[in-house]
């Protein structure tokens, strides 16, 4: 059976969870790996699609706009509980509030550090991450120091990754946002390789606040570098089930989206946003 290593984190989160619909864990243009009533099943893609599988447990339900209100964050958390999303992704100031809203649920709180530019010191990113964990975050998405990467200062990038991994020890999850639209392919490869070497849990495409978002080409490139042992998160511009499925088929195991309800069929039409 394929994709077992790739989906280990996802399957671990779903262990023992009673799911009303099959979950599409991974796939390509021909076949898919489903979790159905606690059992894994690999089948033809057409057969999987006929079962109307959900991608909900792969989604980080995201609200990172500057003007988000408590009512909007509360609504985000309620939606995540209802639909069984992987996490809510909110700015650090909202972590304590989101953690309280989600207490007793399996939905995690995810936050961002050095966001959205990555142009802050390691000490600042580490402090922000440590505070977020104290406030109730279980996952931290850090932004790559893009200037260092574009300068080829890979020792600095490695030190950043190592410092954040120390600040965000397991079982907390650490992701690095590459902002792929600002890097060339060789820079993406090098950043992914260093992230894997330094023990990060995911590499992620985009902040959603720059000149471009996720592409299937970037997701496939990132997966080809990190192999099957760590996660790939696609984010930025994913607004429909079809777009989300394409990212999973390219190698993504997590999707950062604000259009989560549209993707799971609980809201009409594509949404605008992250």
Q: Are 7 and 26 in contact (CB under 8 A)?
A: yes
Q: Is 204 a catalytic residue?
A: yes
Give me 145's structure tokens: 């120091």
Identify the pLDDT of residue 267: 66
The low-confidence residues of the chain, meaning pLDDT below 50, are 270
Give domain status of residue 200, yes or no: yes
Same domain, 35 and 159: no
28/205 Cα distance (integer angstroms):
19
Identify the pLDDT of residue 269: 53
Q: What is the pLDDT of residues 27-78, one digit of tens each?
A: 999 999 999 999 999 999 999 999 999 999 999 999 999 999 999 999 999 9
Q: Is 15 a catalytic residue?
A: no
pTM for the model stands at 0.96
Identify the pLDDT of residue 273: 57
Query: Containing domain of residue 42, as a range?
Result: 8-50
Give domain status of residue 272, yes or no: no
Give domain status of residue 122, yes or no: yes
Residue in 135, 141, 201, 218 annotated catalytic: 141
Same domain, 116 and 171: yes
Same domain, 107 and 35: no
Identify the pLDDT of residue 266: 76
Same domain, 62 and 33: no
Give me 173's structure tokens: 């999850």
Give domain status of residue 144, yes or no: yes
Same domain, 65 and 42: no
Give domain status of residue 16, yes or no: yes
Same domain, 30 and 144: no
Same domain, 30 and 69: no
Give domain status of residue 3, yes or no: no
Strand ranges for 180-236 from DSSP E: 202-204, 231-235
Domain count, the chain: 2
With H, G, I as helix, E, B as strand and everything else as coil, classify residue 233: strand
Sign of CA dihedral 54, 58, 61, 62: negative
Q: Is 233 a catalytic residue?
A: yes
Same domain, 40 and 131: no
Same domain, 63 and 161: yes
Same domain, 104 and 188: yes
Give domain status of residue 201, yes or no: yes
Chain centre to alpha carbon of residue 258: 12
């Amino acid at each position: 059976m394929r994709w077992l290593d790739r989906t280990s984190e996802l399957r671990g989160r779903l262990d023992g969870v009673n799911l009303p619909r099959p979950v599409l864990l991974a796939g390509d243009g021909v076949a898919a790996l489903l979790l159905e009533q606690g059992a894994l099943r690999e089948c033809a893609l057409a057969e999987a699609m006929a079962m109307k599988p959900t991608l909900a447990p792969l989604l980080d339900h995201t609200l990172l706009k500057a003007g988000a209100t408590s009512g909007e964050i509360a609504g985000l958390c309620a939606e995540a509980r209802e639909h069984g999303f992987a996490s809510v992704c909110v700015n650090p100031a909202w972590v304590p509030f989101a953690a309280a809203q989600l207490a007793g649920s399996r939905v995690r709180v995810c936050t961002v550090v050095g966001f959205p530019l990555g142009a802050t010191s390691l000490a600042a990113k580490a402090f922000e991450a440590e505070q977020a964990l104290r406030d109730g975050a279980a996952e931290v998405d850090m932004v790559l120091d893009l200037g260092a990467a574009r300068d080829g200062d890979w020792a600095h990038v490695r030190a950043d990754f190592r410092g954040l991994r120390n600040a965000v020890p397991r079982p907390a999850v650490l992701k690095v946002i590459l902002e792929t639209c600002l890097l060339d392919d060789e820079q993406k490869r090098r950043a992914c390789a260093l992230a894997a070497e330094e023990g990060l849990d995911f590499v992620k495409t985009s902040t959603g606040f720059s000149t471009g978002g996720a592409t299937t080409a970037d997701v496939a490139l990132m997966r080809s570098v990190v192999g099957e042992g760590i996660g790939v998160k696609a984010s930025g511009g994913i607004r429909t089930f079809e777009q989300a499925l394409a990212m999973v088929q390219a190698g993504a195991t997590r999707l950062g989206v604000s259009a989560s309800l549209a993707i799971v069929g609980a809201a009409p039409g594509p949404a605008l946003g992250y």
